[in-house]
Amino acid sequence: MENKWSRLGFAKSTESPVTIMNVCAMLKQNLNAAYPRPPVLLGHGDPSAFPCFRTSPVAEEAVVDALKSAKFNSYAPSLGLLQARRSIAEYLSRDLPYKLLPDDVFVTSGCKDAIQVMINVLARAGSNVLLPRPGFPRYETFCAFSQLEVRHYELLPEKGWEVCLDSIEALTDEKTAAIVVINPGNPCGNVYSHRHLREIAETAKKLGILVIADEVYGHLCFGDDPFVPMGIFGSVVPVITLGSISKRWAVPGWRLGWIAINDPLKMLQESAIVECIKICLDCSPEPVTFIQGAIPKILQDTTEQFFSSTNSILKEAAEICFNKVNEIPCIACPHKPQGSIFVMVKLDVSLLEDIKDDMDFCLKLAKEESVVVLPGTVVGMKNWLRITYAVEPLCLEDGLERIKAFCHRRSATP
Ligand SMILES: *Cc1c(COP(=O)(O)O)cnc(C)c1O
């Protein structure tokens, strides 16, 4: 007899998606338990566990004070507490040629929630969206769930992972609503120049599409180019900026992010998109009220010293990573990371014995050396690897030495 619950038809759609977390969890289950040293996890990026990346004391005090004030025990409005919206508007306006108002900002449960809201908004309009390859697979997961059509444009490794502008023109049609640009980049560690961001904005203007700027790594830059927010081109084309405190303050568990509408010429007024964002926010949970209450102090009072010390640790770590990777014949790094906490490296499996592809490499690396790195396939690039260097420097060096030993042992004899 047929199970009466099967009429609900979930069975076909319940395969768990290929997410970074799921693949890292699978690799962690395959670690070499007999390895004499602790595992080194360079797959999933979350530096908050390491003492050298501990958040600013200002941020911790802000949360404690907000909690103890007993002023933030109520429900927050679905768009966010006014003082939180105002302080985020002021924080973002520091780098813009115009001022954002509290009404231009919505508070979300981290940047992931901001992504989900925007994907739902675009899906309701029956449009399609341009996503980068390689990219951040959470976008694809949300798009699949909301049945929003995805079109991938390429990032060019030989050009510092710049956006392939030609491919954008070819992909865009009447139904294309937006292009997502992640800068500083995950997974590539790119930081785009003012010139390139302007080119993207001009292209979007010409094609009549919005720019969704994922700036969750905003200001985490340590190369030659400073961080330039896409919002400075808001009068060229409307820019919707997504961000959070998760990465710059190393507190992803606090779940506080935002959506900011950069549209000083009010080009979006007739489109009702902002109204649609508000409806979608009504359907998603508000971030915890006392974290919202702490936000003004976190954004205003965190010291420059905290930010510069984080960036200098990341710079050193990126340097170690780049140099070590280049000592290993079967992997190559086309572009030294300039920001965020990741780098993409190319794997040449033809130089290795009995390694089929990037998945196979990562699985055997975990089993033999107790090191986790992310197969590039998960972020859209087969036979590449994504490595995070946001771990304690000694741990990073140890991990990279173990990758080197693995590659050496497996190297194909000609
Ligand atoms: C980490 C990350 C996010 C999610 O940020 P949260 O604030 O933790 O939700 C969004 N986009 C990119 C590119 C990320 O790497």
Q: Where residue 46 sits, what CATH number does that domain have?
A: 3.90.1150.10
* Structural domain includes residue 404: yes
Specify the pairing of strand 342-347 against strand 384-388: antiparallel
Q: CB of 112 closer than 6 A to ligand 1?
A: yes
User: Looking at the structure, do residues 318 and 178 belong to the same domain, yes or no?
Assistant: no
pLDDT mean over 258-262: 98
Ligand 1 centroid, distance to 216 Cα (angstroms): 6
298: closest CA among 91, 111, 103?
Answer: 91
Cα four-point dihedral sign 298, 304, 308, 309: negative
User: Looking at the structure, do residues 230 and 184 belong to the same domain, yes or no?
Assistant: yes
204: closest CA among 159, 154, 160, 163?
Answer: 163
| Per-residue confidence (pLDDT) for residue 329, from 0 to 100 | 94
pLDDT per position as a tens digit, 163-208: 999 999 999 999 999 999 999 999 999 999 999 999 999 999 999 9
User: Looking at the structure, do residues 290 and 317 belong to the same domain, yes or no?
Assistant: no
- Three-state secondary structure call for residue 203: helix
pLDDT mean over 79-99: 98
**For residues 337 and 223, what is the distance between their CA atoms, to the nearest angstrom?**
8
Q: Does 402 have pLDDT greater than 80?
A: yes
Q: Does 10 have pLDDT greater than 90?
A: no
Ligand 1 centroid, distance to 247 Cα (angstroms): 8
User: Looking at the structure, do residues 239 and 140 belong to the same domain, yes or no?
Assistant: yes
Q: Does 96 have pLDDT greater than 80?
A: yes
Please list, in sequence order, all residues whose beta carbon lies within 8 angstroms of the beta carbon of residue 63, skipping any fewer than 6 positions away. Answer: 254, 290, 291, 294, 298
In degrees and rounded to multiples of 5, residue 104 shows phi and psi of: -85, -5
* Structural domain includes residue 414: no
Task: Grade residue 338 by pLDDT with cuts at 50, 70 and 90.
Answer: very high
Ligand 1 centroid, distance to 13 Cα (angstroms): 25
Q: Does 379 have pLDDT greater than 70?
A: yes
Check: CB of residue 152 under 8 Å from CB of residue 131. Answer: yes
| Per-residue confidence (pLDDT) for residue 270, from 0 to 100 | 86
User: Looking at the structure, do residues 320 and 205 belong to the same domain, yes or no?
Assistant: no
Task: Grade residue 2 by pLDDT with cuts at 50, 70 and 90.
Answer: low
Q: Does 410 have pLDDT greater than 60?
A: yes
**For residues 377 and 370, what is the distance between their CA atoms, to the nearest angstrom?**
20
Q: Which of the listed residues 44, 88, 107, 112 should we mutate to test ligand 1's pocket, taking the one with most ligand atoms within 8 A of CB?
A: 112
Specify the pairing of strand 128-133 against strand 105-108: unpaired
Q: CB of 340 closer than 6 A to ligand 1?
A: no
Q: Does 413 have pLDDT greater than 80?
A: no
Q: Does 414 have pLDDT greater than 70?
A: no
Residues in the chain: 414
**For residues 226 and 231, what is the distance between their CA atoms, to the nearest angstrom?**
15
| Per-residue confidence (pLDDT) for residue 12, from 0 to 100 | 59
Answer with the residue of higher pLDDT: 15 or 245.
245
| Per-residue confidence (pLDDT) for residue 204, from 0 to 100 | 98
Residue that finishes a domain, picked among 254, 271, 301 = 301
Q: CB of 215 closer than 6 A to ligand 1?
A: no
CATH value at residue 74: 3.40.640.10
User: Looking at the structure, do residues 144 and 200 belong to the same domain, yes or no?
Assistant: yes
Q: CB of 108 closer than 6 A to ligand 1?
A: no
Task: Grade residue 15 by pLDDT with cuts at 50, 70 and 90.
Answer: low
Task: Grade residue 320 by pLDDT with cuts at 50, 70 and 90.
Answer: very high
pLDDT mean over 338-348: 97
* Structural domain includes residue 244: yes
DSSP string, 270-333: TT-HHHHHHHHHHTSPPPPHHHHHHHHHHHHH--HHHHHHHHHHHHHHHHHHHHHHTTSTTEE-
Q: Does 236 have pLDDT greater than 70?
A: yes
User: Looking at the structure, do residues 186 and 242 belong to the same domain, yes or no?
Assistant: yes
Task: Grade residue 11 by pLDDT with cuts at 50, 70 and 90.
Answer: low
Q: CB of 386 closer than 6 A to ligand 1?
A: no
* Structural domain includes residue 194: yes
Average pLDDT, the chain: 95
pLDDT mean over 248-265: 98
**For residues 169 and 190, what is the distance between their CA atoms, to the nearest angstrom?**
22
pLDDT mean over 150-159: 97
User: Looking at the structure, do residues 158 and 46 belong to the same domain, yes or no?
Assistant: no
- Three-state secondary structure call for residue 352: strand
> Within 13 Å of residue 160, how many CA atoms lie on the same side as its CB?
13
Tokens of 220: 């985490």
pLDDT mean over 300-327: 96
177: closest CA among 216, 145, 144, 143?
Answer: 143
Count of structural domains within the chain = 2
Cα four-point dihedral sign 157, 20, 109, 123: positive
Global pTM?
A: 0.96
Check: CB of residue 267 under 8 Å from CB of residue 239. Answer: no
User: Looking at the structure, do residues 284 and 185 belong to the same domain, yes or no?
Assistant: yes
Residue that finishes a domain, picked among 301, 325, 344 = 301
Residue that finishes a domain, picked among 301, 335, 362 = 301
Cα four-point dihedral sign 193, 255, 145, 383: positive
| Per-residue confidence (pLDDT) for residue 260, from 0 to 100 | 98
Check: CB of residue 192 under 8 Å from CB of residue 183. Answer: yes
Task: Grade residue 51 by pLDDT with cuts at 50, 70 and 90.
Answer: very high
| Per-residue confidence (pLDDT) for residue 262, from 0 to 100 | 98
Domain of 79, in residue numbers:
58-301
CA distances from 294 to 60, 111, 391 (A): 9, 17, 27
User: Looking at the structure, do residues 9 and 87 belong to the same domain, yes or no?
Assistant: no
* Structural domain includes residue 280: yes
| Per-residue confidence (pLDDT) for residue 18, from 0 to 100 | 78
| Per-residue confidence (pLDDT) for residue 13, from 0 to 100 | 58
Check: CB of residue 278 under 8 Å from CB of residue 80. Answer: no
- The share of the chain scoring above pLDDT 70, in percent, equals 98
User: Looking at the structure, do residues 80 and 215 belong to the same domain, yes or no?
Assistant: yes
| Per-residue confidence (pLDDT) for residue 315, from 0 to 100 | 97
Q: CB of 214 closer than 6 A to ligand 1?
A: yes
Residue 347, strand partner residues: 331
User: Looking at the structure, do residues 270 and 316 belong to the same domain, yes or no?
Assistant: no
Q: CB of 182 closer than 6 A to ligand 1?
A: yes
